[in-house]
Every structure is written in structure tokens, then in C-alpha cells.
Amino acid sequence: MLEVKGVECFYGNINVLKGVSFRVDKGEIVALIGANGAGKTTTLRAISGLVRVAKGEVVYEGRSITNHPPYAIVARGIVHVPEGRQVFQELSVEDNLILGAYTVKDAAAKRETLRQVYERFPRLKERRRQMAGTLSGGEQQMLAIGRALMSRPRLLLLDEPSMGLAPILVREVFSIIEEISKTGTTILLVEQNARMALKLADRAYVLRTGSIVLSGSGREVAANPEVREAYLAE
Amino acid sequence: MQFSVSDLVQIILSGVAMGSIYALMALGFTIIYNALRLINFAQGDMFMLGATFGLTLFVMWRLPFSVAFLLAGLGVAVVGMIIERTVFRPLRRYPVLNLIIATIGISITLRALALIIWGSQALLFPPVFGDKPITVGKLVLMPHYLWIIGIAVVVIALLQAFFTLTLPGKAMRATAQNRDAAALMGINVFRMDSLASAISAGLGGFGGVLIAPVFFVTTEMGALAGLKGFAAAVLGGFGTIPGAIVGGLVLGVSESLAASVVSAYRDAVAFVILIAVLLWRPGGIMGRKTR
Ligand SMILES: Nc1ncnc2c1ncn2[C@@H]1O[C@H](COP(=O)(O)OP(=O)(O)O)[C@@H](O)[C@H]1O
Ligand SMILES: [Mg+2]
């Protein structure tokens, strides 16, 4: 479904992605793990069109989307939930959700999706008139995910959805990801919480200073001695 | 000095009318600042273009004032859109200071062009709102002030409705709050820049064509209007919509009151008020209480 082929990215003249290649197949949950600063966020930003790909290619459903503008990539069904939630603080919860469906033209479909998102996240419905900035961290993460679901993505890119959340909420986020996956949405998951990500993932890649250094099924990667030492802290 | 109630009402009414114009200008500064983090020194020239376009449409082409008013405002909005596409967008990847300097260049260019088209003479715009005072009981009111206030209220209400009720309006606010996140919603953020630039310019243009029947029209009239609008925006709390409206009204009314006492210093008064308020509240009247 998605193929990232030898992608290189720069910030100024610092080379942060040095030829990253991996693929995500339809229906999979693929985890991308790595230390802070490895280039995970940059990889997702390269896919969603927020940073320029200097070299290499991003291919989605057989067609290149390399350096397409973000709105064109969203329209193709790829939705990116950015690191740190990034909800629109000074808009209401409901307006945040409505903007999630910005590319959807059919009003009836929009209403139906909104109903489904509220069903999945009843807290958001309770707080729909509140400014998003007044929500707790966990609620903001639910809003960020709910907002992404509003356009009925086929491929969801999640950047550290469990970051900064209490353990009980971390478990809730992971169970939501599992549910979303079961409805047929393909997921590329970036996580610091490697243990839980590897448990959930069908396959996983390890990114180190801008290159993929290891790949395999979630279980294989979790069993790798280096991964256990570096990311699972055993 | 002795004021009657009628005098006082007159003074406040003219202050609110001028304040509405300043509010339109301040909103222009605010909207483009929120979109592009840019202080647009050409905002005053949008005001001038509104007045000169209005003059051409109404006096030379003899269109009804309502049509001339709408076309002048829309015409200036198109100018704003062209400026965004040809100047702001290509300069986006450079530091914002470059853009701000560029707006000074735009301002000089527009004034030079206007001078070629409309000449250096002050031009008279007929008093379309009527020049006979109307009396309500003991009060004597100038109709043009009422018209200015009424039209400005409608323009601001429509703007508010756009921002709070429509999808493009919400998308514009979202883009101002978090550009990357907005792009990830599928919003074409460059189109939002274009829209913001058009709305800012259009607000300036409406201000200019509204004031034209009260004052003379000159190609330099934007300079002071721009400064006052900017002062109003800072006074109210730069970057906020309620701040722009409150700042405009406070500036207009206090200027009008001060001018009725010491008429020679009308324009200086605006800036004395600005400095005094900023010493008292550095974030402006409605601004966040930071710093
Ligand atoms: N906007 C930026 N400008 C300059 N360097 C950046 C920027 N964003 C990230 N970097 C650098 O790029 C590298 C990769 O960052 P990132 O993709 O955020 O890593 P991760 O998400 O794996 O923590 C890091 O060294 C980081 O410091
Ligand atoms: Mg990151």
C-alpha cells in the first residue's frame, strides 16, 4: 500500500534521513521505533508532504506521492496524527472534528462519521462546545485521533500517540489503535513505547540516526538482543 | 468650555464613526498578521485604493453608491490577492522581516501608481449620505456618521459570521493557530493566505470608500489611516479580533473628545493615548496579560 524507497531529507544542510526504505501493506499495523532524534517524525512528515524529500520516492497504491502538497496527500486517504496532538487549541472540540473532515464533500457522510466518532469517544461529545485547549492531555489525544478519523483515512500515520500519558490512558490509546485497525484502516505507528508498539504491530522497523537498521515481525524485532537492550531496557 | 448634551452626543457619534473606520483598518492588520505573521505597511494604501476606486466607480462611471461601494471593496480585495500571490508567497521561505520590508515597497509602488492615475489634486467625493443634519428631539445628528457606523457594523458582523459559522472561516482560524496541523487536515494553506490577504485588503478598501464622502480623496490619504489603524490594533491587543474592534472604537472616541478641546492636536492625541495605554497594559486593552 505504501512504499518508502531510499528517502533522504535535510533540515538546512543536516542530513536527517539517509535513505530510509520500508513498506506498509494493506491492513497491517507497522511500528517504526527508534531513539529520540532518530528521524521517526521526519519520516512521517516526508510521507505526508510537510518536509521536502530530497532524494528517493514515496509510493502510495502504486503511484508516486513524493513532494505532493499535504492537501493532495490527505485527499488520497493518508492522514497523519502529528506528534504532541496539535489540536486547534482555540477552536471548539466539534470544530476540530469538522475540520478533520475538510476534504469530505458529502454532508450526510460527514454527519454520520461525526456520530461514529462521538460514539467511540463519548468524552468528546460531552465536551464538544469546549475549546480544545482546555482538554486534558489524554482527551486532546483522543481528539487528535478522532479528528483524523473524520476523513475516513485508509492509511493512518500516528506519531507517538502515547507520549506523556498516564499508564491507564496509554493502554486505552493502544486498544483504540487496535480497534481502528480492525475496521480495516492500515496503520503506521511511531512509538517511544517500543514494548507496547511491538506487541501490537504485525511488523516493525528500527530507525537509527536516519537509517533503518532492523526489520521483522513485531515479535522478531522485540526478541532481538540489541532492541531489548536499547529500547526495551531489560 | 461649555458642552451641551447635543454637542457631546455629536462628538461621541463622530468618534464612534471614525472608530469604526479604524476598527476596519485594525482588523485588516490583524487578519494578515495572524495568517502570515506580517505587519503590512501597505494596509493604509488599501484604504486609499478603496477611496479612489470608489471615486472612479461612483463619480466617473456613475454607478449607484451601493454598487460602487461593493465593487471598490471587492476590487481592493483582488489587489490583496494579487499581492499575496506575487510578493508574499515567493518570499515566504525567507525571514519575515524581508516580507515586512517588501510591504513598504508595495506601499510606495501603489502610491506612485495612484498618483499617475488619479493625480496629486485632492478629489471631492459627493456627500452621498446627505449633508443636512437630522434632528431627533433636541439632538442634531450628521447622517453620514450614522451610515458609516451602520455599514461598518454590518461588515464586521459578516466577518464574524464568516469566521465562526463557515468552513473556510474555521479553516482560516485553524491555519492561523497551527499551520502544519491545518495542512494535515487537507487544507490548502496557501489558499488560506490568499484569502486572508484578500479579506485584509478588502476591509481597508471598505474603510476607504466609506470615509471618502466625508473627507477629500488623495493618493496620500492611506498613510495616516494606516498608522491609526495599526495604533488601534496595538491599543486593543495586537492579533486579536475583539482587540481590533475595541481598539478602533476607543481610539476614535478619545480622539474625538480630545479634539473637541484642543482641535489642533487631533492626530497627536491618538499616539499619546496609545503610549499611555501601552505603559499601563503592554499587551493592549484586550490583549493577553503576558510580559
Ligand atoms: N525543524 C527542525 N530543524 C532542524 N533540525 C530538526 C528539526 N526537526 C528535527 N530536527 C532534527 O532532525 C533529527 C530527527 O528528528 P525527528 O525526526 O524529530 O526525530 P524523532 O521523531 O525520531 O525523535 C533530530 O536530530 C532533530 O534534532
Ligand atoms: Mg518525534
- Residue pair B74/B199 in contact (Cβ under 8 Å)? The answer is no
Atom of ligand 1 lying closest to residue A160 CA: 21
Integer Cα distance of B170 and B58 in angstroms: 35
Residue B264: pLDDT over 90: no
Integer Cα distance of B45 and A199 in angstroms: 62
- Supply the pLDDT for residue B252: 94
- Point out the residues of chain A with pLDDT beneath 70: 233-234
Ligand 1: which of A17, A42, A163 to mutate, judged by most atoms within 8 Å of the beta carbon? A42
CA B224 to chain centre: 11
Which residues, listed in sequence order, are joined to residue A203 by a DSSP beta bridge? A30, A217
Where would I find the H helices in chain A?
A: 40-48, 70-75, 93-100, 107-120, 122-126, 137-149, 167-182, 194-200, 218-223, 225-230
Q: What is the mean pLDDT of chain B?
A: 92
Query: Out of A195-209, B61-75, B250-264, which region has the weakest mean confidence (pLDDT)?
Result: B250-264
SS3 A59: strand
Give the C-alpha distances (Å, rounded to integers) separating B169 from A3, A99, B111, B144.
36, 11, 31, 31
Integer Cα distance of B10 and B256 in angstroms: 10
Q: Where are the beta strands (DSSP E) in B194-280?
A: none
Greatest extent of chain A over all pairs of C-alpha atoms, in Å: 52
- How would residue B208 be classed by pLDDT, with cut points 50, 70 and 90? very high
The reported pTM is 0.91
- Give me the residues near ligand 2 (ion), CB cutoff below 5 Å: A 41, 83
Integer Cα distance of A173 and B145 in angstroms: 59
Q: Count how many pairs of residues, chain A against chain B, have C-beta atoms within 8 Å.
A: 64
State the ligand closest to the CA atom of A32. 1
Integer Cα distance of A129 and B219 in angstroms: 47
Domains of chain B: 5-280 (1.10.3470)
- How would residue B289 be classed by pLDDT, with cut points 50, 70 and 90? low
With vertex at residue B211, the alpha carbon angle to CA B206 and CA B212, rounded to the nearest 5 degrees, is 100
Residues 6+ apart with CB under 8 A from B187: A71, A99, A102, B171, B174, B175
Residue B170 to residue A86, Cβ atoms within 8 A? no
- Supply the pLDDT for residue B291: 40
Query: Out of A206-215, B12-21, B103-112, B120-129, which region has the weakest mean confidence (pLDDT)?
Result: B120-129
- Ligand 1 contacts (CB < 6 A) are A 11, 16, 34, 36-42
Pick the residue whose CA is nearest to atom 5 on ligand 1: A11
User: A143-160, pLDDT tens digit by residue?
Assistant: 999 999 999 999 999 999
DSSP assignment string, A152-220: --SEEEEE-TTTT--HHHHHHHHHHHHHHHHTT-EEEEEES-HHHHHHH-SEEEEEETTEEEEEEEHHH
- Supply the pLDDT for residue B273: 81
Residue A70 to residue B173, Cβ atoms within 8 A? no
Integer Cα distance of A102 and A86 in angstroms: 16
> Which residue in chain B is spatially nearest to A96 when comparing CA positions?
B174
User: B133-162, pLDDT tens digit by residue?
Assistant: 888 887 888 889 999 999 999 999 999 999
Atom of ligand 1 lying closest to residue A38 CA: 22
Give the C-alpha distances (Å, rounded to integers) separating A111 from A114, A121, A125, A194.
5, 15, 13, 36
E strand or H helix at B236: helix B221-236
- Supply the pLDDT for residue B114: 95
What is the pLDDT averaged over residues B234-249?
A: 93
